[in-house]
Amino acid sequence: MDYLDQLEAEAIYILREVAGQFERPALLFSGGKDSICLVHLALKAFRPGKFPFPLVHVDTGHNFPEAIAYRDNLAEKLNEKLIVRFVADTIKEKNLQDGKGKFPSRNALQTYTLLDVINEFEFDACIGGARRDEEKARAKERIFSVRDEFGQWDPKKQRPELWNIYNGKIDKGENVRVFPISNWTELDVWNYIKREQIDLPSIYFTHERECIKTEHGQWMNVNEFVELEPSDIIEKVKVRYRTVGDMTCTAAVESEAYTLDDIIEELKETRISERGATRMDDRISEAAMEDRKKGGYF
Partner 1 sequence: MEILRFFTAGNVDDGKSTLIGRLLYDSKSVSTDILETLTKQSKSTGENAEIDLALLTDGLRAERAQGITIDVAYKYFTTDKRKFIIADTPGHFQYTRNMFTGASNADLAIILVDARLGITEQTHRHSIISNIVGIPHVLVCINKMDLVNYDEKVYEQIKSDYEKFAQKLQLKKISFIPTNALSGDNVVNQSENLAWYKGPTLFEFLENVEINPNEQEKSARFQVQYVIRPQTDELHDYRGYAGSVLSGRFVKGQSITILPADLTTTISKIEKNGIEVEEAKEGEPIILHVADDIDISRGTTFVPVNDGINSEKTFEAIICWMDNKSFQPGQKLILQQNSFQTKALIKEIDNKINISTFTTEESDGTLHLNDFCKVTIKTAESISFDSYENNRKTGAFILINENTNNTVAAGVIE
C-alpha closest to that of 13 among 204, 165, 152, 134: 165
Q: Cα dihedral sign for 155, 107, 134, 40?
A: positive
Closer to partner 1 by CB, 41 or 239: give it: 41
Closer to partner 1 by CB, 185 or 202: give it: 185
Closer to partner 1 by CB, 91 or 146: give it: 146
Closer to partner 1 by CB, 92 or 159: give it: 159
Contact residue for partner 1 among 84, 88, 170, 222 (CB under 8 A)? 170
* Window 12-51: residues binding partner 1 (CB under 8 A): 12-13, 16-17, 19-20, 43-50
- CA–CA gap between residue 119 and residue 72 (Å, rounded): 23
Contact residue for partner 1 among 61, 104, 276, 295 (CB under 8 A)? 276
DSSP H/E element including 175:
strand 175-178
Size of the site for partner 1 (CB under 8 A): 58
207-213 and 219-221: which strand pairing? antiparallel
Closer to partner 1 by CB, 94 or 136: give it: 136
Task: Write the DSSP string, 67-78.
Answer: HHHHHHHHHHHH
Closer to partner 1 by CB, 217 or 230: give it: 217
Region from 6-14, 55-63, 115-123, 207-215 binding partner 1, contact rule CB under 8 A? 6-14
Nearest-approach distance from CB 27 to partner 1, in angstroms: 15
Q: How far, in Å, are 62, 64, 106, 143, 249 from residue 225 at the CA level?
A: 8, 12, 11, 35, 10
- 181 Cβ contact partners less than 8 Å away, ≥ 6 residues apart: 7, 11, 34, 37, 38, 41, 129, 130, 131, 189
Say what the alpha-carbon torsion angle 200, 179, 151, 123 is, to the nearest 10 degrees: 80
Residues 123-162 vs partner 1: string with x where CB under 8 A? ---------xx--xx-xx-----x--------xx-xxxxx
Residue 110, beta-bridge partner list: none
279 near 93, Cβ under 8 Å? no
* Window 171-230: residues binding partner 1 (CB under 8 A): 171, 182-183, 185, 187-188
Contact residue for partner 1 among 101, 165, 215, 229 (CB under 8 A)? 165
Residues that bind partner 1 (CB under 8 A): 1-3, 5-9, 12-13, 16-17, 19-20, 43-50, 52, 132-133, 136-137, 139-140, 146, 155-156, 158-165, 167, 169-171, 182-183, 185, 187-188, 270-273, 276-277, 286-287, 290
